[in-house]
Chain A
Amino acid sequence: MSQDLGLWTVPLAVIGGAIRVSTPFLFVSLGETITERAGRINLGLEGTLVFGAMAAYATAVVTGSPWAGVAAAGLAGAGFGLLHGVICSLPRVNDVAVGIALMLFGVGVAFFFGKPFIQPSAPPLPAIPFGFWSDLPQVQAALRVNVLFLAGAALSVALWWAFRHTKAGLMIRVAGDSAEAARAMGYDVTRVRVLATMAGGVLAGIGGAYLSLYYPGSWNEGISSGQGLMAVALVIFARWNPLACFGAALLFGGAGALGPALQSVGVSSGYYLFYAAPYVLTLGLLVATSSPDRALAGAPGELGLSR
């Protein structure tokens, strides 16, 4: 079969890969959007992602249920978010630096407790075969869509709507745009920000669960190489808009799938360079969308990045 498709395997694999690889990007970037909209940056989501991957895998191995793993990852993410939120609420503490510290801490703790779980295999998360209509195994493989991807897509729409139309969404936006205004309206800015950081942590943890329980579907120490951080850059590119996050995540997923897709058709010489494609893409988009003189359009006013 694969001979019939020839070079068509590459775009097909990239599309399938975009769906498969984008899910962690999607969850982390949605989480970071909530946090940044409330006025804080959490660079520690990389650590949360890795710890979530470990927690989910370990829980799934022990309980036999992948969904218990997802819940554990979300819970762990909430814990990391709470830690970041509370520490950053202290006066004179820099949220970017705390994020870097939590990134190193989260990765360290994940490696520490994850050692015994590198060998055993955990039950994977279920996927829905949307490619059932095709006889081509490549098409079927590309269109096997994981439940979490669909949940993430639904969540991006829900968040987009919630930011506009709900009281909680308004509260987060006000806290992020002007702490003074939020206080004048009677909101407790610190509490809103801590809760928003926790929500971001939950989503990043779930993104990690996807990594270890579906794709690549195992726990090891190289499971995430900066995906949590790329997602933070992706939020800037998506202009803090949950719907744009969905599109951006697909784009990043496609870039990440390019290397493996080319390798599958025998192009292996520049493997490492294709592997770097998502980082180059992220950097390129950051350069193209940043500006030296004015704050980024759509950026929350209280955000350190835009000041």
Chain B
Amino acid sequence: MVADAAPSGMTVAATQRSPTIRVLAWLACRAEAVAIPLGAVLAGLALFSLFLLALGKSPAALVDLVWRGGFGSAFAWQNSLQRAAPLLFAALCVALPARLGLVVIGGEGAIVLGGLAAAVAAPPLSGLPAPLVVAAMALAGMLAGAAWIGAVGALKAYRGVDATIASLLMSYIAIALANHLIEGPLRDPTSLNKPSTLPVGEANMLGPMPGLGVHWGLGAGILACLLAWLLMERTTLGFAARIAGGNVRAAQIQGLPVRHLVVGFTALGGACAALAGFFEVAAVQGTANATLASGYGFTGILIAFLARHNPLAIPPVALALGGLEASSGLIQRRMQLPDATILVLEGLLFLCLLVGETAYGRFKIFSPHLWASAKARTA
């Protein structure tokens, strides 16, 4: 034992000296961040099972269907990954501003406007090479989303408007605006039953990722999560944002540009959400229509909270929820349960997760000091 060298009682010195103890303490700290959300999810599933039993349905059958519908076959995996792709971006729109202590719940609006801006950018550029058009579409979408959610940040930074309420109002306005434009001035006259904008053109559509059969949104989403993690954890900007999120006063006294940080992080979140809309248009629909507002933004809130706003935890959580939503149709058909079943389960998970917040620091086993001092005492 390396710890043997440390004299007992000097726990602080021990933590500094021994690599074994440092690793143990670090593990204990990290284990808490994984174990408590997992416990909360298990509690939520248990409550949901009781709910199903009370209705005379079998929880085991539901688990079986979720497994088969979400992860049981190559096709199910494809379906789950396809659904997870926009959720990655939607969750980033919550996680990035959360670093500054803002709860932004209006990502849905940025998704819709981002998709619309991307679809509108394509037809005027129809003569250009496809990669250029696709890049312009992505850029147009990101600009629209960044402006929309960045405006929420600016309202917070310069006027003190609550970001939660403002972002939700902005998302209703965005959806109304998009509906107006899609059914009015920007409508493709040939889209009769389902009002849509002009198609972006077959040549400008993104194909699937090689070997996966899932569109490029998945790869881009995972990349975005990695970049967001780097930004948050490995750059001065991310560090400054964390300080500003913890204590605005302290950050201001340190001379940090709090307002610019707020606007920047919200705009970045909006650009991410807009990419979800861009991929829906450029890889799935080929045009912007009402299906852009299909609730990804709201599932994204749950994912970001489940991931505790850690971008690296977003992909696995998004995959789990993507699988859950992919199995929704199967659950409806086989168990005669309404489509809102998944909503009930998601709501329960969310509640249990928040109740779990109270458990942090309650369990001694996760305390780094316990491990440090225990090791020292055995010496």
Contact = CB atoms under 8 A, between A and B. Distances in A.
B161 A104 contact: no
Interface of B: 103, 105, 155, 157-162, 164-166, 168-170, 172-173, 176-177, 179-180, 183-184, 298, 301-302, 305, 338-348, 350-351, 353-355, 357-358, 360
A43 B164 contact: yes
B351 A101 contact: yes
Interface in A271-307: 271-273, 275-276, 279-280, 282-283, 286-287, 290-293, 305
A112 B57 CA distance: 14
Nearest to B342: A108
Contacts of B358: 90-93
Interface string A94-127: 1011101110111111111001000000000000
B347 A108 contact: yes
Nearest to A269: B184
Given A93-B355, A232-B165, 9 more contacts: A93-B354, A104-B298, A106-B347, A108-B344, A233-B169, A273-B177, A273-B180, A279-B176, A282-B169
A226 to B, nearest CB: 5
B343 A100 contact: no
A90, A112, A269, A290, most chain B CB atoms within 10 A: A112
B160 A291 contact: yes
B353 to A, nearest CB: 8
Contacts of B159: 287, 290-292
Interface residues of A, number: 49
A166 interface: no
B160 A292 contact: yes
B296 to A, nearest CB: 14
B346 A108 contact: yes
Nearest to A271: B180
B172, B342, B345, B346, most chain A CB atoms within 10 A: B172
Nearest to B172: A279
27 contacts: A87-B351, A87-B355, A90-B358, A96-B164, A98-B354, A100-B350, A101-B353, A104-B301, A105-B350, A108-B342, A109-B340, A109-B344, A110-B340, A229-B169, A232-B165, A269-B184, A272-B180, A273-B176, A275-B176, A279-B169, A279-B173, A283-B170, A286-B169, A287-B155, A290-B159, A291-B160, A292-B160
Contacts of B180: 270-273
B48 to A, nearest CB: 11
B106 to A, nearest CB: 11
Interface string A200-222: 00000000000000000000000
Contact of A272 (B162, B177, B302, B340): B177
B167 to A, nearest CB: 10
B354 A276 contact: no
Given A91-B358, A269-B184, A305-B162, A229 B177 contact: no
Nearest to B162: A305
Contacts of B354: 87, 93-94, 97-98, 101
B348 A105 contact: yes
Contact of B183 (A90, A97, A110, A272): A272
Contacts of B161: 286-287, 290
Contacts of A43: 164-165
Given A97-B305, A290-B161, A90 B176 contact: no
Contacts of A229: 165, 168-169
A229 B165 CA distance: 7
A230 interface: yes
Contacts of A272: 176-177, 179-180, 183-184
A162 B19 CA distance: 64
A123 to B, nearest CB: 25
A276 B177 contact: yes
A108 B343 contact: yes
Contacts of B355: 87, 90, 93
A225 interface: yes
A85 to B, nearest CB: 13
A280 B166 CA distance: 10
Nearest to A107: B343
Nearest to A280: B173
A287 B173 CA distance: 15
B243 to A, nearest CB: 18
Contacts of A90: 355, 357-358
B157 A292 contact: yes
A293 B160 contact: yes
Nearest to A275: B176
B302 A104 contact: yes
Interface string A73-94: 0000000000100010011111
Contacts of B348: 105
Contacts of A226: 168-169, 172
Contact of B341 (A112, A225, A270): A112
Nearest to A43: B164
A100 B177 contact: no
A230 B157 contact: no
A83 B103 CA distance: 21
A43 B343 CA distance: 18
Nearest to A110: B340
Contacts of A92: 357-358, 360
B253 to A, nearest CB: 16
A276 B160 contact: no
A105 B351 contact: yes
Contacts of A280: 173
A157 B324 CA distance: 48
A104 B168 CA distance: 13
Contacts of B173: 276, 279-280, 283
Contacts of B169: 226, 229-230, 233, 279, 282-283, 286
Nearest to B360: A92
Contacts of B342: 108
A292 B301 CA distance: 26
A278 to B, nearest CB: 9
A112 to B, nearest CB: 4
A275 B286 CA distance: 27
